[in-house]
Amino acid sequence: MAQNKSEFIWFNGELVPWDQATVHVTTHALHYGSSVFEGIRAYEVNGAAAIFRLGPHVDRLFNSCKIYRMDIGYSKKAIGQAIIETVKVNKLKGCYIRPLVFRGTGAIGVNPLPCSVETVIFAFEWAHYLGAEAIEQGADVGVSSWRRMAPDTFPSMAKVGGQYVNSQLMKMEALSHNYVEAIALNYEGFVSEGSGENIFLVRDGVIYTPPLGASILEGITRHSMITLAADLGYTVREAMIPREFLYLADEMFFTGTAAEVTPIRSVDGITIGSGKRGPITERLQSEFFGILAGEVQDRHGWLTPVA
Ligand code: PPE
């Protein structure tokens, strides 16, 4: 599928035409995965763009930089403004926004410290990540033979480019088995997350999700879902989840900026619950998408208007 474009990319503080936002082949991040990034969505609310949870995304970007000792050279406020500006200047409404901070040129060699630190922000229209049908019907997924990294290998709280080679192995294996997505186990064999999503399960009316110690990204959609579930009176438990718990769940869904809230209807060819989107999943989706459509009150102040 061709990449949707927009007109301008914010590149180290300047707005550059999409096709001219290029880098040199000696860019450190190309060789060693030394980039950190965010994925943020904006939605059309009352005819204008509104960015979902801008503050937490900017915070996480800065946290990723901190872990990898990258000096971004801008304040959080400046990056937040630049994100808003990028949506505005491209006249986008519903869109996906990708801020990326990477080690640039200066020296080949593992040591990243001599290299420049570059920041780009671009935005484009991106449809439902796992297919529009999956949002209603549910996705067919499989447990990956690739595991998520142990906590003392790659820090899962950092959203760093290099980590996504693990996700790519998971994703390609899943696709080769005709699944739309993979679920990884962690180094101990407990359920971790998808290649680009957190996971939730429902059993006997209780909602479960793996804790940070299961080598997951601390997802912002995950946090939003835990908050909404509590608002609606559900019990949410962060717990280590054995693989077979997946098969015995009544309902299951992925959360992520790209994936939003996508139900899962089978794992490893085993039907989950009724094999359709479950009632609690549907209730949470309608609350989540309701807020994003401006139909349910934004009671937590999650939307930042672009205008
Ligand atoms: N785990 C992983 C590994 C992950 O990459 C994401 C986001 C999540 C969980 C969910 O986090 P959050 O978006 O804060 O709820 N994955 C991003 C990249 C997807 C891609 O293909 O690129 C995203 O959804 O933007």
Q: Distance, CA 39 to ligand 1 centroid (Å)?
A: 7
Locus of tokens 């959080």: 76
Q: Are residues 203 and 269 in the same domain?
A: yes
Query: Which one of 198, 225, 260 would you pick to mutate in the ligand 1 pocket, going by the greatest count of ligand atoms within 8 A of its CB?
Result: 198
Side-chain half-sphere exposure of 17, counting CA atoms within 13 A: 2
Establish how many alpha carbons lie within 13 A of residue 192's alpha carbon, considering only the half-sphere containing its beta carbon. Answer: 30
Tell me the average confidence (pLDDT) per consecutive run of 10 residues in the chain, 307 residues long. 91 98 98 98 96 98 98 98 98 97 97 98 94 94 98 97 98 98 98 98 98 98 98 98 98 98 98 97 98 97 95
Written as one string, the DSSP assignment of 38-104 is --EEEEEETTEEEEETHHHHHHHHHHHHHHTT----S-HHHHHHHHHHHHHHTT-SSEEEEEEEEE-
CA angle 289, 203, 293 (to 5 degrees): 5
Are residues 136 and 278 part of one domain? yes
Distance, CA of 25 to CA of 22 (rounded, Å):
10
15 forms beta bridges with 10
Domain count, the chain: 2
Q: Are residues 114 and 149 in the same domain?
A: no
272 found inside a domain: yes
Are residues 84 and 210 located together in one domain of the fold? Answer: no
Chain CA centroid to CA 178, Å:
22
Task: From 33, 42, 61, 66, select the one nearest 168 (Cα to Cα).
Answer: 33
The model's pLDDT over 239-270, given as tens digits with 9 standing for 90+, comes to 999 999 999 999 999 999 999 999 999 999 99
Of 150, 123, 153, 112, whose CA–CA distance to 38 is shortest?
123
Phi, psi of 60 (to 5 degrees): -65, -35
Q: Are residues 184 and 219 located together in one domain of the fold?
A: yes
Sequence-separated (6 or more) residues with CB below 8 Å from residue 292: 43, 45, 52, 303
Distance from Cα 239 to the centre of ligand 1, integer Å: 20
Tens-place pLDDT, residues 98-154: 999 999 999 999 999 999 999 999 999 998 899 889 999 999 999 999 999 999 999
| pLDDT tens digit sequence for 121-134 | 999 999 889 988 99
Cβ(221) – ligand 1 distance below 6 Å: yes
Are 144 and 281 in the same domain?
yes
Give domain status of residue 2, yes or no: no
Residue ending a domain, among 124, 155, 177, is: 124
Query: Whole domain around residue 274: which residue ranges?
Result: 132-292
pTM for the structure as a whole: 0.97
Report the mean per-residue pLDDT for the chain: 97
CB 99 within 8 A of CB 119: yes
Strand partners for 304: 51
Q: Do 170 and 256 belong to one domain? A: yes
64 Cβ inside 6 Å of ligand 1:
no
Determine, yes or no, domain membership for 205: yes
Annotated active-site residue 88? The verdict is no
